[in-house]
Structure 1
Amino acid sequence: MYAAIRQFKAKPGSADALAERIKGAVPIISEVSGFMGYYVIYAPDDTVTAISVFNTVAEAQESNRRALAWIEDNLGPLVVGQANATAGPVIVHSLP
């Protein structure tokens, strides 16, 4: 299992607008082969972190490639600076 992680800083007070727009990214990410899950966290300091889970590192990297392009094309006015991304193996995981 591999996680793809994207992170960026949002303009203060844009959580609601971002949440609505980010829903548009779900099909872009979920259509990547091996997709297992997608989560977005909005921290109090306006840091947005999106985490996707896949079967292989290549799938996770492909999702990052697609997501970064989507962020640039769709979230520009709500983002401060550039988004960054990484992917790697999930080394600990637990479900109920």
Structure 2
Amino acid sequence: MKFRKKPVVIGAVQWTGDNLFDVITFTDGAPSIRGTHASEKWDDYCRLVDADGLKIFTLEGKMNASVGDWIIKGVSGELYPCKPDIFALTYESAE
């Protein structure tokens, strides 16, 4: 049997390596970085991502996202990274 993927609209942001705040806002909501303590924690998190890479928590577990990968939020709110070539073959702008 053959199946065709239903047309659905997803949300996505591309990880550039310089847009951690945007990626975190997309995946978890805007982080609070106001105040000394929150700002220090944000700086610690940025250093951790620089050292260990960006981790995306998916239904299958923790996955690494490389610079250039798209972070997709699926129809049920699930998150997963997608390589740019696969993203280009699978998705087009809905705007």
Hey, which of these two has a bigger chunk of strand by percent? 1
Task: Compute the TM-score of the two structures, normalised by the length of structure 1.
Answer: 0.28
Greater RCO (CA < 8 Å, at least 6 residues apart): 1
**What is the TM-score of this pair, normalised by structure 2?**
0.29
Larger Rg computed on CA atoms:
2
